[in-house]
Structures are given as structure tokens and as C-alpha cells.
């Protein structure tokens, strides 16, 4: 059984912006601010309608709604293991300048929601729900931030196809470097790739930094401050 430890790496998007609306062109390349929060949704719930599913039986559920012993959720170390993996992925993603540009508001404006911790917790709940865990998605975090559907979270960001593919590639490399088995990496990659059509904008440049208002931080604060972005 493979469990993910808390990795001190320098990726997200990280599984960040490719999954939840966010941004970061911070010069340091490291996430800062915001601790996120545990989902306040019911612990016994499953992913809500509209959330991509894990095919091939990877997201097994045992009796009484508990994850089965051979589920992807258990192999990933349950909520804490997935949370650690997401943190490592987000950190690594921030090393890519194009991907990092989508995190700008969360890193530069401490009043902007979501903060980095919110982004990581939203994606943790998403992956947890898809891998057979009790998490629900979309959901509301303890600090009040609402993790939205993937379509709503990304519709104003105009993410290109190559940027999305690069995000998935970085995530896969982080998992591989931390000894997640190839079968599980392929399962996670297929789930991420399955969201591509609802995340990318086919009319946007295939790659390049985020240039839309949702990624900008002005004197008056980040666009979408107060939880609207």
C-alpha cells in the first residue's frame, strides 16, 4: 500500500489553478498565506453530481459508505495523504511561470479568496471524492470559502490546452517522484484529463501567462476579492 508523506518540494496547481480558480506570479515561487480549512460538508457524503468519476472501480466503497480497503483513497493515504500530495503538487506547479501566473491574487492579496490553503483543500476534497473517500465536492470550507464546480471556477481564466497539459504532466512527475505506483498515477491523470473540456478555453492561446482580469492584482486588491473568484 502506497501512502503519500508530507513532501517538502519546491507543484496544482500546482494542482491549483488547473482545478480551482486561483493565481500566483510570486517571485519566490512558493505558496504563502492561508491555511485553508477542513471541509464542512458531511463526512459521510460522496461526490456530488457533475463531478468527474474515476472509472475502472478505483474508487471502491465498502459497507456503510466507508472506503474499501483496496480503494485508491486508502492507497493514497486518505485525506491527510491526499492533502500532502496536493501541497507538493501545488508547490511544484508554482515553479512554472505560466501556471504560476494564475495564482497571483491568492499570493499577493491576503484579502483575496481563495487563499492558497483554500485552493489546496478544495482540490483535496475533489480528489478525495473521486478516489472513493467520504469527501464531497463542490463543498464549503470552514473559513466560508465555497469550492465551486470546475466549470465555474475556470470560466473567466481562459486557460489554454498546452498550459493544462503541462499542469497534468507536472502533477504526474511529482507523484512518480514520490513512489506512487504507475497504475494509480494513470488513474489520477485520466481523471484530470477528463476535466480538460470544461476547464480550457479553445479560443485562448494554447500556452502563456494569465492576462485576464481574474489573475490581476491592482491597488484596490485582487479581482474577485471577497470570495467571488
Q: 1-217: which CATH architecture?
A: Orthogonal Bundle (1.10)
Write out pLDDT tens, residues 50-99.
444 443 334 454 444 677 777 899 999 999 999 999 999 999 998 999 99
At residue 125, the 3 state secondary structure works out as helix
Cα–Cα distances in angstroms (integers) from residue 105 to residues 99, 141, 216, in the given order: 13, 19, 6
Least-confidence region, from 111-115, 137-141, 206-210: 111-115
Q: Is 97 exposed, middle or buried (0-12, 13-18, 19+ CB in 10 A)?
A: exposed
What is d(CA 223, CA 189) in angstroms, rounded to the nearest whole number? Answer: 30
Q: Is 49 exposed, middle or buried (0-12, 13-18, 19+ CB in 10 A)?
A: exposed
pLDDT at residue 228 tops 70: no
Supply the pTM of this predicted model. Answer: 0.68
Asked if pLDDT for residue 186 goes beyond 70, the answer is yes
Looking at the chain, list the stretches that DSSP marks H as alpha helix, in order from N- to C-terminal side: 72-75, 78-93, 97-100, 104-108, 116-130, 150-154, 161-177, 182-193, 196-199
Residues 18, 172: contact at Cβ < 8 Å? no
Distance CA 122, CA 210 (A): 21
Is the Cα torsion angle 27, 111, 153, 141 positive or negative in sign? positive
Could you give phi then psi for residue 173, rounded to 5 degrees? -65, -40
Domain ranges of the chain: 1-217
Residues 18-61 pLDDT 10s: 333 333 333 333 333 334 445 444 333 333 334 444 433 344 54
Using CA atoms, how far apart are residues 172 and 58, in angstroms rounded to an integer? 17
Q: What is the mean pLDDT of residues 185-203?
A: 90
Instruction: Please say if the pLDDT value at position 160 is more than 90.
Output: yes
Q: Could you tell me if 103 and 24 are in contact, meaning their C-beta atoms sit under 8 angstroms apart?
A: yes
Task: Report the candidate in 216, 218, 29, 226 with the shortest Cα–Cα distance to residue 143.
Answer: 226
What is the C-alpha separation between 22 and 148, in angstroms, rounded?
12
The pLDDT value given to residue 68: 73
N- to C-terminal Cα separation, the chain: 38
The sign one gets for the Cα dihedral 130, 131, 132, 136 is negative
C-alpha 51/C-alpha 90 separation (Å) is: 21
Amino acid at each position: 500500500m502506497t501512502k503519500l508523506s508530507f513532501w517538502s518540494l519546491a507543484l496544482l496547481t500546482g494542482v491549483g489553478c488547473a482545478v480551482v480558480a486561483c493565481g500566483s506570479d510570486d517571485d519566490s515561487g512558493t505558496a504563502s498565506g492561508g491555511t485553508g480549512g477542513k471541509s464542512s460538508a458531511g463526512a459521510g457524503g460522496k461526490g456530488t453530481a457533475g463531478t468527474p468519476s474515476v472509472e475502472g472501480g478505483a474508487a471502491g466503497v465498502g459497507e456503510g459508505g466507508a472506503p474499501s480497503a483496496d480503494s485508491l483513497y486508502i492507497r493514497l493515504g486518505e485525506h491527510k495523504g491526499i492533502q500532502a500530495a496536493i501541497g507538493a503538487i501545488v508547490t511544484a506547479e508554482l515553479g512554472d511561470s505560466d501556471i504560476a501566473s494564475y495564482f497571483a491574487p491568492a499570493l499577493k492579496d491576503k484579502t483575496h479568496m481563495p487563499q492558497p490553503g483554500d485552493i489546496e483543500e478544495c482540490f483535496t476534497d475533489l480528489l478525495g471524492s473521486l478516489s472513493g473517500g467520504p469527501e464531497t465536492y463542490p463543498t464549503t470550507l470552514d473559513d466560508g470559502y465555497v469550492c465551486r464546480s470546475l466549470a465555474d471556477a475556470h470560466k473567466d481564466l481562459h486557460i489554454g490546452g498546452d498550459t493544462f497539459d503541462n499542469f497534468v504532466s507536472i502533477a504526474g512527475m511529482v507523484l512518480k517522484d514520490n513512489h506512487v505506483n504507475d497504475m494509480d498515477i494513470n488513474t489520477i491523470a485520466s481523471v484530470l484529463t477528463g476535466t480538460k473540456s470544461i476547464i480550457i478555453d479553445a479560443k485562448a492561446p494554447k500556452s502563456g501567462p494569465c492576462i485576464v482580469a481574474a489573475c490581476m492584482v491592482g491597488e484596490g486588491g485582487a479581482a474577485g476579492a471577497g470570495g467571488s473568484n
